[in-house]
Structure 1
Amino acid sequence: MAGPVTAAVLVIGDEILSGRTKDRNIGYIAEYLTAIGVDVREVRVVPDIEEEIVAAVNALRVRYSYVFTTGGIGPTHDDITADSVAKAFGVAIDVDPRARAMLLEYIKPEDLNEARLRMARIPAGAELVPNPVSRAPGFWIGNVIVMAGVPTIMQAMLDQVAPKLQTGVRMLSETVRADAREGDVGGPLGAIAQVNPEVSIGSYPFMADDGRPNTNLVVRGRDPAKVAAAVAQVRAMVEGLRKPG
């Protein structure tokens, strides 16, 4: 695509908001999509409440190229993502024969009870997202891609959909270690950012191995020449700070 391709990540689940489960998907998805030329612009976490899921899906899908959801497509009563997404799109939902067949590749017919069959309920018109790990599929409807919350399964599903995504020019990123505190570089870094409006320049403080505060300066952009020019200015600024006097 000519312009940037954008995405939002919608994490669904009371367990994330309560802290019982620590999210491991947001960073993985963001890094994965950035590497293939899709910019993650927003992340939301919502509880297992239908109206909140519906509202979030509808708000995000009109704002971004893609919405990736994680969580809430399991066999229990509080796994309501599929129903909520169907409601957001105004379509029916029922057991999908394709999804049921996938479940039977992993589950014995006599074990396919009502709870497990919930994982085969797919909104009308949705494309299935295969699940090589446990077979219960995700789905893709409109620009919304619904994936599992279990990290290994989510990652496998993301591998399945990635080749089908539209992508833009990949974001380039280069890091310069300042060997200085963030407050020492704030002024000159702001001046560099002002004369390089087509790149993004950020500062990220951290504690170095020697226990002293330090800062990474990160330049991001799509034009290699402009990124290189900004990085050269940042490096020159850092070298200037290191010189005595």
Structure 2
Amino acid sequence: MTASGAATHRIVTAAILVIGDEILSGRTKDKNIGYIAEYCTAIGIDIREVRIVPDIEEEIVAAVRALSARYDHVFSTGGIGPTHDDITADAMARAFGVTIDHDPRAVAILTGHYGAENLNEARLRMARIPAGAALIDNPVSKAPGFTIRNVHVMAGVPVIMQAMLDAVTATIPTGAKMLSATVPASMGEGRIAAGLGAIQKDFPDVSIGSYPKMLDGGFATDIVLRSRDADRLAEGVRAVEQLIASLLTAPR
């Protein structure tokens, strides 16, 4: 659905950009990538790429420029706090060649939250917004994120990021939802691989993936089919089910 509520068949793509030394060092375990990917899949946005970059301005700038040019949207998390190493806002301004300063809208939000007497220099850093950016509402801790071009810059703290993501996705067009179905097979991938390959050739518009697992002490496989066309998905599922049935009755 689009922001206006009208359905669209357009494929909308996105990337996730995670910024922070703490993620790369393992000190902080990322909880945002999976959430954003699942959330976007549910509303019709295809996540095509994930990048994690350190708190180095040149690397952030390079990643933003590359991802922004390649996808419809970029969801960025991390690096918009009050400390010296929160450099995301400056990097975003540099990536798009615009100035950055204290945004009166953001200053007003923070003043209302902290009170003018408590709005110190560190907190004012969170009001520095690149020129021309739209603010992203933050109902949790008030310091806003921002959208510049097609890049949505959100906090790294999961509960804040999730609230910001709600605000962002309410305003942007989304595409046709990807549908999925899982067919379980009580056999290993080796027995089913050739047949699945043949089915994939017959259904180029259906993504077919196999995922091995252990079941009751033996090998089993989940076959996951994905398509935007419900009829083609159902046809693919039937083909896979027929393959499994034939393998179960065939001599080994």
TM-score bin (small chain): over 0.9
How far, CA to CA, are the matches of 1:145 and 1:199 in structure 2? 30
CA offset digits 1:133-158 (Å, max 9, x no partner): 00000000110000000000000000
- Alignment of 1:243 onto 2:249: yes
Q: CA deviation at 1:207?
A: 2.8
Give TM-score, length-normalised by structure 2. 0.94
Q: CA deviation at 1:39?
A: 0.4
Aligned-residue Cα RMSD (Å) equals 1.2
Residue aligning to 2:190 = 183
Q: CA deviation at 1:113?
A: 1.1
- SS across alignment from 1:164: coil
Unmatched runs of 5 consecutive residues or more in structure 1? none
Indicate the percent of aligned positions where both proteins have the same amino acid.
64
How far, CA to CA, are the matches of 2:187 and 2:240 in structure 1? 13
Unmatched runs of 5 consecutive residues or more in structure 2? 1-7
Q: CA deviation at 1:2?
A: 4.3
Equivalence map 1:1-245=2 (5 Å): 1-208=8-215, 210-243=216-249, 245=251
- SS across alignment from 2:70: coil
How far, CA to CA, are the matches of 1:148 and 1:206 in structure 2? 36
How far, CA to CA, are the matches of 1:222 and 1:242 in structure 2? 30
Give TM-score, length-normalised by structure 1. 0.96
How far, CA to CA, are the matches of 2:222 and 2:110 in structure 1? 47
Q: CA deviation at 1:244?
A: 5.4
How far, CA to CA, are the matches of 1:126 and 1:115 in structure 2? 21
How far, CA to CA, are the matches of 2:82 and 2:150 in structure 1? 24
- SS across alignment from 1:77: coil
Stretch deviating more after TM superposition (130-139 or 177-186): 177-186
How far, CA to CA, are the matches of 2:207 and 2:75 in structure 1? 25
Q: Runs (4+) of structure 1 moved beyond 4 Å?
A: none
CA offset digits 1:61-116 (Å, max 9, x no partner): 01000001000001111100000000001000011111112122332322211111
Q: CA deviation at 1:241?
A: 2.1
Aligned residue identity for 1:119: M
How far, CA to CA, are the matches of 1:157 and 1:239 in structure 2? 47
